[in-house]
Amino acid sequence: MKPYSYQRAEDVDGAVAALVEQPNAKFLAGGTNLVDLMKLGVEEPDALVDVRRLTSDHVEDLDDGGLRIGAAVPNSVLAADRKIRTRYPALSQALLAGASGQLRNLATTGGNLLQRTRCVYWQDVTTPCNKREPGSGCSAIEGHNKNHAILGASEHCVATHPSDMAVAMYALDAFVVVHGPDGERRFPIEELHRLPGDEPQRDTTLEHGELITAVDLPPLDLAANSKYRKVRERASYAFALVSVAAALDVEDGVVRDVRIALGGVAHKPWRATKAEEALRGEPANEANFHAAADIELEDAQPLRDNAFKIPLARNIIARTLLDLSEER
Amino acid sequence: MDAEITLHVDGAEHRLTVDTRTTLLDALREHLEIISPKKGCDHGQCGACTVLLDGRRANSCLALAVAHDGTEIVTAGGLAENGDLHPMQRSFIEHDGFQCGYCTPGQIVSAVGMLEEVRAGWPSHVTEDLNVEEIVLDDDEIRERMSGNLCRCAAYANIVPAIREGSER
Ligand SMILES: Cc1cc2nc3c(=O)[nH]c(=O)nc-3n(C[C@H](O)[C@H](O)[C@H](O)COP(=O)(O)OP(=O)(O)OC[C@H]3O[C@@H](n4cnc5c(N)ncnc54)[C@H](O)[C@@H]3O)c2cc1C
Ligand code: SF4
Ligand code: FES
Ligand code: FES
């Protein structure tokens, strides 16, 4: 591993300043992704600025009735939080479906959002990869691409975003709070991650030195009737092939409101807005759930090994919505 | 680059100088010669390196030693008290919960940390009712909660009963 300096900043401003001064520095939180990638030689920072003890590790009430999750809240603690469990169950379920008990204790909210793809070529420095080395080519497009994207990919990169937690946050209309060189900004989580386009090296819209300090969950009544479903190759401790987070409000058999996000299908968690629009005001039944999923997946472009993701996504969207309409 | 840190391991305080690249696992094994945490994969994928960090189980192979300066660490080697094996250790022996034994220290520390999570009422992926007050630790719960500890010898058939009984003591 390349040598690097390690520092713990005094406060959030100090951490931001430390990164601004050092163009090849990175924030360190739990380290469960960054340290792994440094061992593999994929990430090679000159300096680590430890932020784990800088941001809040609490879940707090917001004045608007929502919740603010500090960036340092461990994944395990967030999953077990009583308010999250009752008011935003899909988020608890998503966290509990990710990684292992040990990893969830180390992993933080901020780090989870910014974890990098699990594309095997990206993790293998001996193979071409546009995300690691822009312009070198994408080994996955013509290679083993079972785990890769079916939506929103580009000719430069077909990687998927691996986070379970983020998928639930997308469905729950979360906001991200960021401190950067120019102060604080707060924006919808959908604006955090990017599609690869012709800059696959950029996972997010964050500028160098911008620190995530919190994630806000807005008050959302239908979130109490939400669910996360993950399909993977073994029962536990595996990344998603496809996952879905959904929230549903049904009145007199009609969909009043709905939120759907997909994991494992794109370079970012995929908010299924087309399916949502198709469902609002329609009878809540299996045929309509399938039809809405079809509308969302119309643009899906399978690769050699991952066409199975299309029916899989279709089925788990419908199944999850059906479960949610029956539970009410 | 070097850094000076203090680690409290199994009740003893250690001051040591480590390269900033040193993981907690390597600091324990190579610097302090505390070898009950094992190196299986070195990538967070097997659980052999599990220790308790300030009471919570964690993979020491992905934790940087410098980042855990001042932390209270418990390894499998430190679970025994006054020479008496921890109930979970005894249960593993009685149930023959291992073959080669390489994953065992990680399994046992993980199980001890896991029981604290159960006591705290933390749900798991298989907990039917997310809002349940008290977790019933059946075999499905044990399997799910222990999925971060792989056993290459596949001694699971005995590990699960060992933990079930160890949890009742
Ligand atoms: C074996 C294994 C299995 C896994 N399985 C799953 C799974 O099934 N599902 C899943 O979702 N995840 C899984 N993970 C990934 C795990 O969830 C992430 O590694 C973890 O959430 C990252 O959090 P961290 O705090 O350790 O981040 P770190 O590794 O410390 O950081 C990750 C990135 O985020 C940046 N960063 C961290 N905090 C901030 C901040 N506050 N502001 C700005 N930048 C920041 C860092 O610079 C770095 O680039 C798995 C990991 C492993 C090793
Ligand atoms: S899919 Fe993206 S991350 Fe994977 S090899 Fe291609 S460019 Fe790299
Ligand atoms: S050695 Fe740490 S998880 Fe395998
Ligand atoms: S007993 Fe051999 S790896 Fe578990």
CA A174 to chain B, closest CA, distance in angstroms equals: 21
Closest CA in chain A for residue B146: A101
Q: Which of B3, B42, B59 sits opposite A39 (nearest CB)?
A: B42
> Domain of A279: which CATH number?
3.30.390.50
Residue A327 has a pLDDT of: 62
- Assembly ipTM: 0.98
The two three-digit tokens of residue A23, written as one number? 């163009």
Ligand nearest to the CA of residue A106, numbered in listed order: 1
How far apart, in Å, are the Cα atoms of B42 and each of A124, B7, B22, B39, B166? 16, 20, 12, 6, 28
Q: How many domains does chain A have?
A: 2
Q: Which helix (H) or strand (E) holds A286?
A: helix A286-297
Q: Residue A41 belongs to a domain with what CATH number?
A: 3.30.43.10
- Average the pLDDT over B151-164 and give the result: 98
The β-bridge partners of A208 are none
Q: Is residue A127 part of a domain?
A: no
What pLDDT, on the 0 to 100 scale, is given for residue B169? Answer: 81
Q: Which residue carries 């780090």 as its tokens?
A: A111
DSSP A218: P
Nearest CA to ligand 1 atom 51: A99
Asked if the Cβ–Cβ distance from B124 to A96 is below 8 Å, we say yes
A161 inside domain: no
Question: pLDDT by residue for chain A (328 residues), tens digit each?
Answer: 999 999 999 999 999 999 999 999 999 999 999 999 999 999 999 999 999 999 999 999 999 999 999 999 999 999 999 999 999 999 999 999 999 999 999 999 999 999 999 999 999 999 999 999 999 999 999 999 999 999 999 999 999 999 999 999 999 999 999 999 999 999 999 999 999 999 999 999 999 999 999 999 999 999 999 999 999 999 999 999 999 999 999 999 999 999 999 999 999 999 999 999 999 999 999 999 999 999 999 999 999 999 999 999 999 999 999 999 986 4
Q: Residue A261: give the domain boundaries.
A: 227-327
Expressed in angstroms and rounded, the spacing between residue A254 Cα and the centre of ligand 1 is 39
The helix (H) or strand (E) run that includes residue A320 is helix A309-327
What CA–CA distance (Å, rounded) separates B118 from A313? 33
**Structural domain contains residue A178:** no
Residue A14, in any domain of the structure: yes
Distance CA B66, CA A52 (A): 12
Nearest one of B47, B62, B63 to B7, comparing CA atoms: B63
pLDDT (0 to 100) of residue A149? 98
pLDDT digit string, tens, across residues B85-135: 999 999 999 999 999 999 999 999 999 999 999 999 999 999 999 999 999
Q: Are A186 and A177 in contact (CB under 8 A)?
A: yes
Quote the CA–CA distance of A71 and A113 in Å, as a whole number.
Answer: 10
Task: Count other C-beta atoms under 10 Å from residue B64's C-beta.
Answer: 26
Yes or no: say if A148 and A188 are a contact pair by the CB < 8 Å rule: no
DSSP state of A117: P
Pocket test for ligand 4, best of B39, B92, B103, B110 (most atoms within 8 A of CB): B103
Average pLDDT value for residue range B33-55: 98
Ligand 1 pocket check for A9: Cβ under 6 Å: no
User: How far apart (Å, rounded) are the C-alpha atoms in residues A93 and A78?
Assistant: 10
Is A302 part of a structural domain of the chain? yes
What does the pLDDT read at residue B116? 98
- Of the residues A50, A65, A85, which one is the last residue of a structural domain? A50
As a whole number of Å, the CA-based R_g of chain A is 19
Whether residues B64 and A97 touch (CB distance < 8 A) is answered with no
Domains and CATH numbers, chain B: 2-78 (3.10.20.30), 87-168 (1.10.150.120)
CA distances from A72 to A77, A217, B16, B60 (A): 10, 16, 27, 18
pLDDT at site A176: 98
Flag whether A20 is in a domain: yes
Q: Is B39 exposed, middle or buried (0-12, 13-18, 19+ CB in 10 A)?
A: middle
The answer as to whether A13 is a domain residue is: yes
**Cα–Cα distance measured from residue B10 to residue B57, given in angstroms and rounded to the nearest whole number:** 14
Looking at residue A35, what is its pLDDT?
Answer: 98
Triad B158, B38, A125: Cα angle to 5°: 115
What is the layout of strands, in order, in the sheet containing A47-50? A5-8, A47-50, A25-28
* A286-297 vs A309-327: helix crossing angle, rounded to 10: 140
Residue at A209 is within a domain = no
pTM of the complete model: 0.98
Per-residue pLDDT of A131-185, as tens digits, reads: 999 999 999 999 999 999 999 999 999 999 999 999 999 999 999 999 999 999 9
